[in-house]
Structure 1
Amino acid sequence: MVIDRSQVCIFIPTLNEEPTIGELISRFREQGYSDIFVMDGNSTDRTAEIAEKAGAEVVLQQSRGKGNAIIESIGYFRRPYILMLDGDMTYLPEDAEQMIEPLFSGCDHVIGNRLEFPEKGALSRLNLFGNKVINDLFRMAHGRYLADILSGYRAFTLESIRQMNLREEGFGIETEISSESIRNQQKITVVPVHYVKRPGTATKLRPFHDGAKIISTLYRLAKRSNPMFYFGMIGGVITILGALTGIYVVFEWLNDIEHLPLTILTALLIMGGIQVFMFGILSDIMLANQQELRREIQSLKNQRPPQ
């Protein structure tokens, strides 16, 4: 399929990417992409200056964090298709065409799976393990396996990214984008892309700190897209605590020792856990009805004759 590059905006959120940003923009321009937009997170080096000289439109970010960079940028997009990638040259411009092509075939959101072809040394064993755990947890929480939910190489239609209700300020933004895409029932395609060692700039990731934050974000977002998982986990933990105290109470009772306050606590924990679990079931039913209503509205919009 022939891709109309004039319909594509290359979007690059940056923070101190002086060694790589110029070459990255030049390689995209060599491929025929003229609309290159950089949202700079107030870099302390010459990133913004180099990007502007290389031919990109540069806007300085008002707040901090990658998530805020993406959220602020949505209002600047004018092209019908957006290709987003980091400015550190870990993703290759040569993979752009296969990222964009599904959009021209009716896809809403494309995720570049960097775990398919990582260059040797680009991802540590800890990174690979952490990504696998997070991807599996995402499948449990949101009901779909997307191979690499933390990928920074993504493509969207303008309509699909505007549908997303994005709030995450930092590195949790990729998880939220994946979650919102599923919640809005968008057509998602995963394509393999190359991932190379970060040249010239130090990584901004802190594996344990950021990993814990991403897992927390993943679980919190399940409240909107999979309430049964979210409330079921809470209800399950409370019920298990009640069951454990109950076992202790029964064991003591068999030894002619009564624990009336603990017995009351056990009953409250078990009843509370079951109630939270039932709330998850009701929320899940409400979500299913909401999704069905959304599908009906979309179907009516599609059937409406053009003006």
Structure 2
Amino acid sequence: MADKIAVLIPCYNESKTVAKVIRDMKKALPEAVIYVYDNNSTDGTDEIARKEGAVVRYEYQQGKGNVIRSMFRDIDAQCYLMVDGDDTYPAEFAAEMCSKVLEKGTDMVVGDRLSSTYFTENKRPFHNFGNSIVRGSINRLFKSNIKDIMTGYRAMSYRFVKTFPVLSRNFEIETEMTIHAIDKNMQVENVVIEYRDRPEGSESKLNTYADGFKVLKTIVKMFKNYKPLEFFSLIAAVLFVVGMVFFIPVLVHFLEVGTVEKIPTLIVSGFVILTAIICWFSGIILSTLVNQHKQDFEYQTQMVTNRYKDLFPEKK
């Protein structure tokens, strides 16, 4: 059976807040089916969720990315609303976000915390700084205007969910989702939401420095994968400049006296310039492969669209 709206709540030790999140979502979206995927909780999160009427399932590979992979594979719905189980995202914005998917055909609706109360509610200054850095980096690298890159509050279409390859295992998954939507030219909208910090006694699973490094590493990796020509051209330009800095004095000296005294410098600069040329051509080749992948993706999207019409004939 396919759902009209599936509320997806990934949970790891959220016993203090998960009941309220489920109750709030039931009130905001009475027609939705609420799924709680328990990720090896030891505090009874799954039992609390089950008592509140949620469909409880389990993912035993640790990490939010692994949970989301299972959710996306298992569940068929017209609209997917993903929300954290820590009660930091108010449910009153859920209906507006889902309506954009169901009525306007939006592929991803981003719950934008950063344009409202995030910087005042969040008590971890490095998280505030990190969110700003990530948002600025991705919007510049990918020429986009996403207001909140790492929010855990999103509404998504069937097309997005079934064509998104989940590669990350942990909290960098939100960054990966955002970049995928931008690169594949999917329709993305921002909805400004209120954000509240975790209630007292509820502990964050994030490690500011370790997870921040993983997110930055993901950005670099995906910039390389999605825009290889720009990535390798940048490396090639740096290497070419370095090579020329060492090569030009040798060339000037040769033109003045007719001999080359610094042969090792000439050899090293030649190899650096040659490496720059190889990087540039590598970027061209990989860019061709990426364009081919985009063509294949369009074919895959058409197949997903056909399956969606079979699941929901009333949407034809």
Deviation at 1:122, TM superposition (A): 1.8
* Matched residue, 2:313: none
**Residue in 2 aligned with 1:42?**
40
Contact 1:142 1:225 in 2 (8 A): no
What is the deviation of 1:233? 3.1
**2-structure distance, mates of 1:53, 1:160:** 31
Gapped regions of structure 2 (runs ≥ 5): 311-315
Q: C-alpha root-mean-square deviation of aligned residues, in Å? A: 3.0
Q: Which residue of 2 aligns with 1:268?
A: 271
User: Residue 95 of structure 2 is aligned with which of 89, 94, 97?
Assistant: 97
- Rounded to whole Å, the distance in 1 between the matches of 2:56 and 2:298 is 38
Alignment of 1:47-196 (within 5 A): 47-104=45-102, 105-119=104-118, 120-122=120-122, 124-196=124-196
User: Residues 292, 205 of structure 1: CA spacing in aligned structure 2 closer, same or farther, 3 A cutoff?
Assistant: same
Residue matched to 1:239? 240
The size of the alignment, in residue pairs, is 300
2:224 is aligned to: 223
Q: Distance in 1 between matches of 2:53 and 2:300?
A: 42
1:268-287 matches, within 5 Å, as 268-287=271-290
Task: Report the more deviating stretch, 10-19 or 208-217.
Answer: 208-217
| Partner residue, 1:21 | 18
Aligned to 1:3: none
**Structure 1 residue 57 displacement after superposition:** 0.9
Q: Show structure 1 runs of 5+ residues with no match.
A: 1-5
CA contact (8 A) 2:163 2:301 kept: no
Query: SS in structure 1 opposite 2:80?
Result: strand
Q: Are positions 1:201 and 2:202 aligned together?
A: yes
What CA distance in whole angstroms lies between the structure 2 residues aligned with 1:161 and 1:273? 39
Instruction: Describe the SS at the equivalent of 1:194.
Output: coil
Alignment of 1:268-307 (within 5 A): 268-288=271-291, 291=294
**Conservation of the 8 A alpha-carbon contact between 2:4 and 2:32:** no
**Bigger mean CA deviation after superposition, 156-165 or 258-267:** 258-267
CA offsets, 1:206-242, max 9 Å, x none? 2222111111111111233211232223323433442
Q: 1:97-129 deviations in whole A, cap 9, x for unaligned?
A: 121121021111111111011253325432222
Deviation at 1:301, TM superposition (A): 11
Q: Percent identical across equivalent pairs?
A: 28
TM-score by length of 2: 0.84
- Does the residue aligned with 1:150 lie in a helix, a strand or coil? coil
